[in-house]
Structure 1
Amino acid sequence: MTVNQNELTMRPITGCEELGLFSQLPYTLNEELADDLVTGRRRPEWMWVALHGERLLARAAWWGRPGDDTPFLLDIFDIDDSSPDRDRVDIGVRLLQTALAEVIPANTRPPEYNRVVPSDWREDDMARHVVEDRMLALERTGARLLVERLRLEWRPGTPLPTPRQRLAFRPVRGTEEILALMTLVLNGTLDAHSRDDLTRMSAREAAIRHYEDELAHFRSPRDWWRIATLPDGEPVGFVTPARNDYNPVVGYLAVLPEHRGNGYIDEILAEGTRILIAQDVPRIRAATDLGNTPMANAFHRVGYVIFERQITMTWS
């Protein structure tokens, strides 16, 4: 099917009554859209469609925090893969350009794009084609690949390593303590987001930004968070087991630079996992960069499995 691009209609949806239209293209987040609209995490004016008649050819949607005037990230962008190659990428580009101009304030850097993809997307020809089409369309609007991340899950019944008793664990004593530790662990970090932040701001500013963007919004008690220490009380690292808007998660996991290479990461991760297990959770989610091999290996040793990957792209 060849589409005359002048015949396209590009517009935001009118509201919940058009979720059936918006969900014609499949994605795991479709089932969350209705609740997101009710809670204010999404708005109809942040959810755009490209239509040819009644047929949905592409869609884009941003997610934000309730009460925010602008969205936090672009997490849905799909193109109907039944159109010819050139047409579908062009349609995706036009939809993004039109929607970005309306959703994002002028002279403002667009929020990053996050997209969950199959764990084997490179080995599956169809999946690779779909992922690469989306990435090409985003690149043509000025976005670039920041990182590919592993999405991991711990499932009930998975055994945890026996505690080695090398570390003690205590609650975080306050916001300033966790911010100070977050600042220290940025030295030598392998995390792509943190490395990108450090090109534009100080380590302290990057820690504050991470705290305000993520940790401050967890829906669970902060007394779940743990500082790992040596027997004499010296901090070694920390973990922030938590609940976000959707799942129990290992939110932040780190070892201080001077203590790296001693295998402490496994013990800290296992402790954070135990805290969540005690809440009788159905699963625990986590993520780390594909290139952060030490962290990925730690998750594997503690029993987490890769169930998806995530593509993250940003605009300059």
Structure 2
Amino acid sequence: MTAQHRIAVLGLPEVVGFDLVIPSQIFTGALDESGTPLYDVQVCSFDGGPIATTKGFAIQPGTGPEALTAPDTLIVPGTHLAGPRTDGTLDPRLADYLTGLPSRTRVMSICTGAFVLAAAGMLDGRPATTHWKHVDDFRRLYPKVRLDPDVLFVDDGDVLTSAGVAAGIDLCLHVIRRDHGSEVANRAARASVVPPWREGGQAQYVERPVPGPDDSGTSGTRAWLLERLAEPVTLEQMAEHAGTSVRTFTRRFRDETGTSPMDWLLQQRLAHARHLLETTDLPIDAVAERSGLSTASSLRKHLRHRLGTSPATYRRTFRS
């Protein structure tokens, strides 16, 4: 029997309560074929006491600081902890703990937990992300970090960061998929009634001005595109259908969806391909053609990039 992977979730006051419980919920849903949990998840505070949350209540951890001793994975949830969030400083004891973790320990953050890792210098020169609302503050405090504000999470090998709140679910499922494959991750997602993979990035959730009365939307063109996913469509054709210039159409499209027209179209084609893989016995070439991805090779490339799996593996997982 393989030993359980030990995860320590370090709650730092004031912790975002939802972020704090995400790892326990998601990772404990990862089971092997016999139904045995693959992860041992322990929530703890740095001093062993209750953890104050951002919503006026406290959470008493089930274990003491001993759970922080050389875990296989350490997760820092979102926090309003002064220092990392205000002036880039960090309690020396906490900084020493983080930087003194064994090299084998994988480190993750959810939401503004990335501020803590950055304050410890653990993100210098690395790609990372955090909640879109705090991007300006993060860049001001930590200019050495290669911040990407548009993605749901960043996997940089031994250090992983996620965007705001529910993006922590996406990150945890990604880690399960990386550790044990799509089938285990999909079962964990279904146990929590969440999608195994969310399309797009957090840019689609950024607050945007409401279009003015003369600023016609792109919903009609999006509906038009969904009816012809298998056909080659250019950006110029999209703009012509919307009755605007390419530049105006692209701007309005991004304002409404948080992504570019061509990337949105690719997402819809992949979604249709996944539907065909789940519900039909069509050959991979036919699935690719009917979804507008042209060839099996193209479908494999995009599915591998977006979901980390192949068409054949995806079909076996969802039709088993």
Return the TM-score normalized by structure 1. Answer: 0.31
**Structure with the higher helix share, 1 or 2:** 2
Q: Whose strand proportion is higher, 1 or 2?
A: 1
Larger RCO, structures 1/2 (Cα 8 Å, 6+ apart): 1
TM-score using structure 2 length: 0.30
